[in-house]
């Protein structure tokens, strides 16, 4: 995800001049990009990636716990923290909380205008509405999702799964 940014900043550091005093003094200008990148990685991307792993391992409770530390960064990690939290709530059958997370993504499109998670939020909202029995809301969210993906390859697994559950 954002590892490419960190790698670029690390590459900047690799080309920085050797410090005049090898140990004990550091050229702060040379180290600043990597330090800033590492701080973001530790604060945002490590918990987000770990939460994604926990979801893959079918541990949604652990994913939610990991994402708590990231909640203070409003736009940090783009939609990932919100989307993963929505997925975790959905897997726990906590439909109201899942729907709220997916709705946050839909309400803040400007945070990630090109993110495919915006489109997937429609699908998440549809599934969360299904859990509550709100068929009208679910149908509308599915229609919005399919409208956004109308030109996508028909054999994409996410589309196949969405079509099978929307019928």
CB contact at 8 A, 90 and 98: yes
Residue with tokens 């994913």: 63
The reply to whether the predicted model has a pTM over 0.85 is: no
Are the C-beta atoms of 37 and 6 separated by less than 8 Å? yes
Q: Residue 145 has what pLDDT?
A: 95
- Based on the number of CB atoms within 10 Å of its own CB, is 21 exposed (0-12), middle (13-18) or buried (19 or more)? exposed
pLDDT value at residue 36? 58
- Of 121, 155, 156, which is closest to residue 141 (Cα–Cα)? 121
Q: pLDDT 10s per residue in the chain (167 long)? A: 444 433 433 344 344 344 444 434 444 455 455 555 567 677 788 899 999 999 999 999 999 999 998 887 766 677 899 999 999 999 999 999 999 999 999 998 776 667 889 999 999 999 999 999 999 999 999 999 999 999 999 999 999 999 998 87
pLDDT, residue 58, reads: 96
Measured CA to CA, the distance from residue 59 to residue 165 in angstroms comes to 23
Is residue 9 within 8 Å of 30, Cβ to Cβ? no
The pLDDT of residue 110 is 72
């Amino acid at each position: 995800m954002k590892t490419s940014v960190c790698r670029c900043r690390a590459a900047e550091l690799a080309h920085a001049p050797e410090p005049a005093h090898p140990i004990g003094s550091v050229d702060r200008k040379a180290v600043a990009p990597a330090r800033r990148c590492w701080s973001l990685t530790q604060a945002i991307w490590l918990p987000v990636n770990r939460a994604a792993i926990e979801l893959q391992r079918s541990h949604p409770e652990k994913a939610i716990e990991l994402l708590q530390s990231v909640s203070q960064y409003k736009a940090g990690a783009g939609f990932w923290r919100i989307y993963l939290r929505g997925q975790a709530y959905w897997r726990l059958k906590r439909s109201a909380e899942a729907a709220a997370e997916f709705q946050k993504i839909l309400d803040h499109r400007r945070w990630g205008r090109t993110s495919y998670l915006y489109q997937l939020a429609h699908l998440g909202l549809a599934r969360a509405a299904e859990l509550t029995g709100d068929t009208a809301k679910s149908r509308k969210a599915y229609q919005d999702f399919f409208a956004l993906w109308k030109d996508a390859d028909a054999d994409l697994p996410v589309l196949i799964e969405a079509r099978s559950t929307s019928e």
